Chain A
Amino acid sequence: MKILVCIKQVPDMESKFKIDSENKWYDSADLAWRMNEYDEYGVEQAVRLKEQVKDADLTVLCIGPDKVKETMKKALAMGCDRGVHLVDDAISAKDPFTVASIIAEFARDKDFQYIFTGMQSQDRGSAQVGVLVAEMLSLPCITTIVDFEYTEGKVTTRRELEGGVKAVVSVSGPAVFTCQLGLNTPRYPTLPNIMKAKKKELLSIPVEEIVQVENKLQTEKIAYPEKKGTGLILEGDAGELADQLISILKEKTGVLA
């Protein structure tokens, strides 16, 4: 069984974001980078599936500049067998259609039985790439999964809907799944596995050799959201802050009255 998991490298969302000089995206300097959180669940699920079926080959794919290799090494240390780095220094300017086209073109004719992606990235949050890859490859796709059970060629998933409701949906492969938070508990790579990962294949292919398509969306500009909050901001000594807050609660809410 051939399995593909697609990951993205994103900045830590707790970062202070600065706008880049072209006013089109965030400045990538001075940020801490990590694996997109949704994709971690995808990697974990792919590794679990490989462990379950035993005879499987698991490829992790990532598009981006050289520094994404660091994030790919984590996926390899979590248990992926090989990495494919599609080298693209301009990935941040590409829209979901273009990103999906690159992945689909790479995956076409490679007989992946199951493809996992995060349901969205933490920075763009478009929730489009996984579904578009499925459409481009004419594969069924189940989105927003929070549960995955594989039994003899059939996968039963639970899709997360609003209000804590889940839909039970099954599919036979090949298929694409987009992974929601809470699908599983992603493992921490152990030191021996980190060492082993260093010897695993990590193939780099210039993205121009895969496919070249035009974006369907243009970013006109990026800005900080206008601050609408008119709330009170309290700063200073913790003890004094607690007293101030108690006075406010008494005055405004009646909670401590």
Chain B
Amino acid sequence: MKALLIAEYKDGEILGSYAELIGFAGRLGAESAMFLVGNKDNLPQYDGRLYLADVASCGEFDPDGHKQLLLETIEKENPDVIVFSHSSYGWDLAPRIAFAVGAAQVSEVVEIVDGNYIVPACNAKLQRTVKSGTEKCVITLQAGAFSLPDDPTGTPEVIEMNCSPAARVEFSGYEQAEQGGVDLSKSEIIVSAGRGIGKPENVTLIADLAEALGGDYGASRPVVDSEWVEHNRQVGTTGQSVAPKLYMACGISGAIQHLAGMKKSDFIVAINTDKDAPIGEVADVLVVADLKQFVPLLTEKIKSL
């Protein structure tokens, strides 16, 4: 079994998620090689062949150009499985590669059992076991599913590649997240509002509880997308990653992207009417209640302590 691991480079840095690709190859017991459009001065800790194309000439985002480089690498390595992170880079490039090599793609793999892949469905309320029907298979890995206990080690054997940018699309740079506002990554207590708050007026219930606890309030993606709470309070993959002493998730069902941003919290309380909500998987305490009734009561009791 041979695996080709696709590392990522963004905004001048190699991303640490490559370690999870190594973890996955280890789980498969696969011989692996790695691919990166990056920089010689910033290499992964990796004990194997690294196909490296220079980002300065290839561009950080050029799907056609990166696809071409990858196809050349696949030609040389002939891997059985081509492994991406399930990330903005991975889900953009993986289907292009799968189509080009005629392979099946399995997205967001969380586990492997008897050579079959386990993937979540319906907000992780269900799990599918899927099997590739093609000789080669392209997969993307859910963040954190195949983490290594320690940092990887090794110095790669670099095989340099040249590219000819294809650029049907033009990448003109990054826009950083909005600055200012609250830095939740430093907060010790966070109370977050999810879709279950129902309407914008109920944000005050969450803010009041946060204040009574001496903390800050945050929100999950749907609440931010509805513009009920500003973006710089969003917790999750595309918002802030937090690790407070106490995280209270109010009306948050627990989408994977939200969990990824808050599961390192020391103590997690979830308030939800749905006893089976995925947030229960990470919560230390799940209060099964209507937050509109429960949160104001709790706030009053805390204030009167």
Contact = CB atoms under 8 A, between A and B. Distances in A.
Interface of A: 11, 13-14, 16-17, 19, 26, 95-97, 119-120, 122-128, 131-132, 135-136, 140-144, 158-171, 175, 181-182, 185, 214-225, 227-229, 231-235, 238-239, 241-243, 245-246, 248-249, 252-256
A146 to B, nearest CB: 9
A45 to B, nearest CB: 14
Contacts of B134: 216
A124 B284 contact: no
Nearest to A233: B286
B298 A217 contact: no
Given A96-B105, A217-B104, A11 B132 contact: no
A133 to B, nearest CB: 9
A181 B284 contact: no
Given A26-B126, A143-B88, A166-B175, A255 B246 contact: yes
- Is chain B's binding surface mostly helix, strand, loop or mixed? mixed
B129 interface: yes
Given A169-B170, A219-B129, 14 more contacts: A14-B274, A26-B126, A125-B119, A132-B95, A167-B171, A171-B168, A182-B225, A216-B133, A217-B131, A219-B131, A232-B285, A233-B275, A249-B246, A253-B266
B126 A17 contact: yes
Contacts of A160: 88, 238
Contacts of B275: 233, 235
A169 B171 contact: yes
B38 interface: no
A20 B129 CA distance: 14
Interface in B3-55: 10-11
Contact of A245 (B61, B175, B253, B285): B285
Contacts of B239: 163-164
A162 B294 contact: no
B133 A218 contact: yes
B284 A231 contact: yes
B266 A217 contact: no
B120 interface: yes
A95 B294 CA distance: 43
A215 B298 contact: no
B186 interface: no
Interface of B: 10-11, 60-61, 63-64, 86-88, 91-92, 94-96, 98-100, 103-108, 116, 119-134, 168-178, 189, 213-214, 221-222, 224-225, 227, 231-232, 234, 237-241, 245-246, 253, 266-269, 274-276, 280-290, 293-294, 297-298, 301-302, 305
Contacts of A141: 63
Contacts of A159: 61, 88, 92
A233 B173 CA distance: 47
B58 to A, nearest CB: 15
Contact of A164 (B100, B108, B131, B178): B178
B294 A238 contact: yes
Given A232-B285, A239-B297, A222 B169 contact: no
A222 B121 CA distance: 9
B127 A125 contact: no
Contact of A238 (B61, B64, B284, B293): B293
Query: Which of A16, A132, A160, A164 counts the most chain B CB atoms within 10 A?
Result: A164
Given A216-B132, A231-B286, A235-B288, A242 B298 contact: yes
B280 A165 contact: no
Nearest to B177: A164
A225 B120 contact: yes
A218 B130 contact: yes
Contact of B133 (A11, A135, A215, A254): A215
Given A14-B274, A132-B99, A239-B297, A256 B245 contact: no
Contacts of B99: 97, 132, 135-136
A143 B171 contact: no
B128 A222 contact: yes
A143 to B, nearest CB: 4
A19 B227 CA distance: 35
B237 A162 contact: yes
B104 A234 contact: no
Contact of A167 (B61, B125, B246, B274): B61
Contacts of A215: 133
